[in-house]
Amino acid sequence: MVFLLLVLLLASTSLALPGVRVARAQGVSYYGPPLQGSELGQLSPNAVVSISILLPPRSLNELMLVAQEVSEHQLSPLSRSQVLSLFAPSQEEFDAIVNFLKESGFTITYLSPDRLSVMAQAPAYVVEKVFGVQLDLYRSPDGAVYYAPSGMPRIPGALQGTLVLGLTNRTAFKPQFIVAGRIEHYTFMPANFSGLPALPQQVASAYTYYTPADFEGAYNVTDLMQYSEGASIAIIDAYGDPLIYQDLAEFDAMFNLPPVNLTIIPIGPYHPSLGYLTGWDIETALDVEAAQSMAPYAHIYLIIAANPDNALFEAVDYVVSTDLADVVSMSWGLPENLIGMSGVYTTVPAFTLNYPFADYYFALGAAEGISFFASSGDEGAFDATPTTYGAVLFPSSSPFVTAVGGTTLFVNVTSGSIQFLNSTGTYGYETAWSVSPLDGTSEVASTGGYSSLFPKPWYQYGVVKGFFRTTPDVAADANPYTGFVEIVDGQMQVIGGTSLASPLWAGITADIDGYLGVKLGLLNPLLYDIYRNQTLYNMAFHQITFGYNGKYLAKPGYNLVTGLGSPNAGLLAYAIKYELTRFPSLSIAVTTYQPGAMYAWYMYNSTFQVVAAIRYPNGTPVTQGKFNAYVFTTQGLAMEVPLTFNGTYWVGNVTVEEGLPPNVWTIVVNGTSAGLSGTGATDVYIGTGLTIIAPTPYPYAPSIPVNEPFEVEVYAIYPNGTPMTVPSLTAAFYHDGINYFNATLLPNTTEPGLYEGTAMLPYPDPQGAYIMYVYSTAPNGKVDGAAYEYVYFGEMVLLGRVITPLNDGTPSVTAGQSLTFLAQVIDPFGFGQFTSQVYVDIYSLNGTLVKQVPLQPAPAPRLGYQIGYFVVPPSMPPGWYDAVFVSEENSSTGPLFGYLNQSFYVAPQQLSATVQSAYYTIEGLWLNVFANITYANGTPVTQGTFIATAIPAQYAPYLMSYGFSVGVPLQYNASLGEWVGKFYIPSVYTSSMTAFGPQGLYSLAGPWYVFVSGEDAAANNLYPVQFPTYVSPQAVPDPVGQALMRYAAIHGAYEISALSSEASGVLSGSHTSPAALTTVPIGSQALASPALTAPTGAQALLPQAQEYTAELGSVEQANAQARASAPPSIIYVALLAAVAFASALAGAQVGKRL
């Protein structure tokens, strides 16, 4: 099936989206683009389709209470047989479903140990027969191919009352990582993020990268790591890494870590080769390696879901139902605004699990003492959607999960070399992972903002504004420009994303669990308590005060980009211990109860009971005191209910009053007894359950044109699972908070619970992103159920790039430098690439329009790109700016407009640098680079990301295209006051070190330039500064060069490239001994000798050179004539290298630096 989809994807080169006429229930015909995506035909009958059947537990409310009581040590843990007998579906029910699937032609691939889920697969024709629906293939505007039902599936009687997932493989769940590039021979080769060729307008780049030892020192984990012995971490990923054991063995050996204690547990079919095809192998290796780096002795359980959809939550269920691990890391998620569902479950097959049902897993796990961590997201405040409303990721937005955002980390190197992967360091400085020009289709930055689904949890009161849950809670390094060195599929890569930050925090928490000897469970209340104690907060966290994610700014204290900040792990462990021991508290377990309700899902005008089990620290039940239940909705505190002791529990009744908002309510129980206080909480779900079926949001389907009716389909049920029978539903469409139009949805006459209607955006109403809010009402007109998703009207801006002079961690520009804007647009019908007008509106953050930049067709116009330029004037104040790409086109249905938000930073100053290196070198040697980088006032720059590269002079005009295809990170040497690094000059023997080799010996000889560029921690950029050098047509044989490379990697220093000055005389014939190599002066000033011309004194060595050439074999014979015309002194150069290498091994100080 996967190969079929790949073939279709590769074959689908046209983006034309043909219109399809679809008849609707209300007699209105739709002639626009298909709302499901561009249809490609029926799914192959023999394509394998995997489905999941989820069975509701019995008495989930009681299970919640028992789990919390066990976690609070109020009850002894239940045995497996007790859990199954009390809460799981009966064995007969479970077996009946399994047998039905087998008899229908399915193969069972996974059975949940708690009898709560079954995974099965079958050919598509079997699935279509069982569910009475045809499965078709569709292509979304971004090129993704997926299958989905062409109509409404019918649930067979044997599966009634269950949740069916998997009839579509359209998924918004994706891993949160970005590959910066790869490392070969200690040289960095950046990736091409956008898929576009590098543009001459962007002339340089800058990266650095860190090893486990760097993170260990920066986040102060060293003294805690010993406590990871006995701790356990579960990592949940999809598909897996086919070489995970080999990758980990190489990773552990390279970075001196103990062999990983790894157990792989597949959930469903285990096909790790699919990880290689989809990128989940990179995610898998990153998660395990990052977690092990922080907790090297922990037992790591790698839970591999069979797909990146329903199986991910089955993996969560497995961890929770088996109480498998102390800590869980989930480096994936989907934006809330794509869920389009409400209620605990739905009886119509959906593309994802209802978020309340999924959230119960995290509440149960937290009650068991499991700490959940999830990546907050990698695409800024919009998170790859056209609106910031609900753009935060779930599951990180769950109040029972710790959301981990991203930073840009700068390490003070205390020993070793970043380039040679043996550095150690301490914390230097940190900024928010801010808007970056990597992708072009969305902001690339730490995702954070307000949840649209969950009320503000009790632990965030007094910390954040508003009444909604906010993310992230904490942060760690995620910027790929300051990335993590991982081994995946045998290759060394540099990787970033909040997929790195989440397992880093998971590993640190496992250490703290071991240090304290307890399972901390939900960590958030403790973290926010520490925040409220300024002394503890300043000790335990690094505050992040600079950065921007496309809507929110980093600032001191808590912020919506990096949360509370990054960890000072050793002091965080102390702060948590202080909080736990200094302030003993009551243990409070909370649930709710209503006769006949399996879930905490209640209708309006009904009453449910709050039930709290409260005990003193010694386990004695609390029978006296004052306790209240506080009911929080998305509008704040709704009511306060006093609790009374009934002889066993503290109880109180809550009436669900009409007029209060539907969906998630949080119940917080708080009170005091005998001078002690405590807090417990649970969530309940209010109102009807709605599932939005159509339209499918862009970019998973085309945008919607103006003046065209489109279909809205919603499936509605009551909490007891029966279809709704109200006369109508309403779909209200909001843009910037204003309700522009509504649609009435009427019952389908043949499908109970299905409501259909049509809507239309008339011109000249504004286009772009709308929130489609679908709601049901009681007879008195009060809303009693609601769900939403976004819809997008107008033209699609498929790509909008803000190209700054430097491709680095923060896209900065200074006065006098130029910005390049690149765009590609398409309308809902597949046209508009060549007929649309595109411009960029530049806004300051206060909403002032600063400049409008028109775009014109770019070179090679057949590609459909438009390009424009803007030179930053001196009058433009430093700060963050939004760049809004706007397109206009006159279409057959009316004028269309498109919008895409990007951002950039205007830095207050440009950095200066003096670069020094050798004036003369030969092929196959390392060239030392020294850069004295300063601010305008002469103060040295000590924190930042800077990179050095060297290219032949003839390629200098194409610096970005050629030179920065390879580079080496520089690190600050405090004793020298300079940034230092070593660049390998490729040679005829080099296989993959540069875009220019391997080639003939003379093709690389001649004038070269050494370039240094980058930016400091405050995003002030260093435009490339050059230094001239000359590469002679001599080459160190590869075995010698590789030996030198290995020595440099181990010892961090040698100076064979000091051949530049003293040894140049040897090569030119004015010296007869290589002894000059042993007295090379120290420091960059010693290299400031006059430029030398090419040597000519090596003619006498031609016989030896020819003899050596013959020994190399036929591979080198093609170069023999070129060598004879101006023969290089290969043997003599090899002799010089060997002498220098022997001297270095003997301990001689041969220009030792670093």
Each residue's pLDDT tens digit, 347-392: 777 667 788 888 888 988 888 889 999 999 999 888 888 888 889 9
Mean pLDDT of 523-539: 95
> 912-1145 has which CATH code?
2.60.40.1930
CA–CA–CA angle 18, 695, 145 (5° rounding): 55
- Percentage of residues of the chain with pLDDT beyond 90: 58
Quick one: average pLDDT of 791-815?
A: 90
pTM of the prediction?
Answer: 0.86
On the question of pLDDT at 1088 being above 50, the answer is: no
State the Cα–Cα distance between residues 144 and 811, nearest whole angstrom: 29
The answer, yes or no, to whether residue 5 has pLDDT greater than 50, is: no
CA distance 946 to 971: 8
Mean pLDDT confidence for 129-146: 84
Number of other CB atoms surrounding residue 453 within 10 Å? 24
Q: Are strands 174-175 and 332-335 parallel, antiparallel or unpaired?
A: antiparallel
Residue, of 662 and 185, whose pLDDT is higher:
662
Residues 829-847 have pLDDT tens digits of 888 888 999 999 999 999 9
Between CA 32 and CA 914 the distance in angstroms is 61
Closest residue by Cα to residue 338 from 738, 608, 698: 698
Q: Which CATH number fits domain 796-878: 2.40.10, 2.60.40, 2.40.330, 3.30.70?
A: 2.60.40
Distance CA 55, CA 115 (A): 8
**pLDDT value at residue 932:** 97
| β partners of residue 971 | 980
- How many whole angstroms separate alpha carbon 268 and alpha carbon 239? 10
Question: Does the pLDDT of residue 678 top 60, yes or no?
Answer: yes
Q: Where are the beta strands (DSSP E) in 395-461?
A: 402-415, 424-432, 449-455
Note the pLDDT tens digit of each residue in 420-445. 999 999 999 999 999 986 565 567 89
Q: Which of the four pLDDT bands, split at 50, 70 and 90, describes residue 62?
A: confident
Q: Which of 396-410, 716-730, 732-746, 1063-1077 has the lowest mean pLDDT?
A: 1063-1077
Give yes or no for residue 978 having a pLDDT over 50: yes
Q: Transcribe 255-280 into DSSP letters.
A: TTPPPPEEEEEEES---THHHHHHSH
The CA distance from 339 to 353, in Å, is 9
193-202, 536-545, 643-652, 744-753: least confident range: 193-202
Say whether pLDDT at 247 is over 90: yes
DSSP letter assigned to residue 125: H
In the block, residue with structure tokens 């085309």: 702
Give CA–CA dist 527/826, Å, rounded. Answer: 46
With tokens 């009911």, the residue in question is 631
Residues 6+ apart with CB under 8 A from 103: none
Q: What is the mean pLDDT of the chain?
A: 83
Q: What pLDDT is stored for residue 1101 in this prediction?
A: 28
Q: What is the CATH number of domain 689-792?
A: 2.60.40.10
How much is the average pLDDT of 1097-1126?
Answer: 31
Burial of 974 (0-12, 13-18, 19+ CB in 10 A): exposed
What residues does each domain of the chain span? 36-165, 208-340+365-582, 587-686, 689-792, 796-878, 912-1145
- Indicate the DSSP class of residue 559: B
Using CA atoms, how far apart are residues 914 and 187, in angstroms rounded to an integer?
A: 22
pLDDT for 346 equals: 80
The pLDDT value given to residue 1037: 65
Smallest CA-to-CA distance from 560 within 650, 654, 682, 447 is with 447
Task: Report the pLDDT averaged over residues 535-562.
Answer: 97
Q: Which of 98-102, 924-928, 1074-1078 has the highest mean pLDDT?
A: 98-102
Q: How confident is the model at residue 990 (pLDDT cuts 50, 70, 90)?
A: low
Tokens encoding 1102: 């031609």
CB 177 within 8 A of CB 377: no
Query: Crossing angle, helix 310-322 and helix 355-367, to 10 degrees?
Result: 20
Q: Can you name the CATH fold of 587-686?
A: Immunoglobulin-like (2.60.40)
Asked if 374 and 448 touch (Cβ cutoff 8 Å), the reply is no
Question: What average pLDDT does this structure show over 877-885?
Answer: 96
CATH fold match for the domains 208-340+365-582 and 912-1145: no
Angle CA 624–676–64, to nearest 5: 75
* Peptide linkage before 395 cis (omega within 30 of 0): yes
What's the burial of 280, exposed, middle or buried (CB within 10 Å: 0-12/13-18/19+)?
A: buried
Measured between its terminal Cα atoms, the distance across the chain in Å is 53
- Give the pLDDT score at 1135: 36
Q: Are 913 and 931 in contact (CB under 8 A)?
A: yes
Which residue shows structure tokens 């060595």?
Answer: 1101
Question: When comparing pLDDT for 1082 and 1001, which is higher?
Answer: 1001
pLDDT confidence tier of residue 173, bands split at 50, 70 and 90: confident
- pLDDT tens for 897-914 read 999 999 999 999 999 999
Round to whole Å and give the CA distance between 700 and 172: 9
Range from 502-506, 516-520, 1125-1129 that averages highest in pLDDT: 502-506
Nearest by Cα to 898 from 790, 803, 821, 826: 826
Which position has the token pair 């909490």? 719
What is the C-alpha separation between 216 and 224, in angstroms, rounded? Answer: 10
Q: Which pLDDT tens digit goes with each residue over 283-313? A: 999 999 999 999 999 999 999 999 888 889 8
Residue 1140 reports pLDDT greater than 70: no
Q: Is the pLDDT of residue 139 over 50?
A: yes
CATH architecture group of domain 208-340+365-582: 3-Layer(aba) Sandwich (3.40)
Q: 607 near 594, Cβ under 8 Å? A: yes
Q: Is the pLDDT of residue 995 over 60?
A: no
pLDDT for position 1070: 33
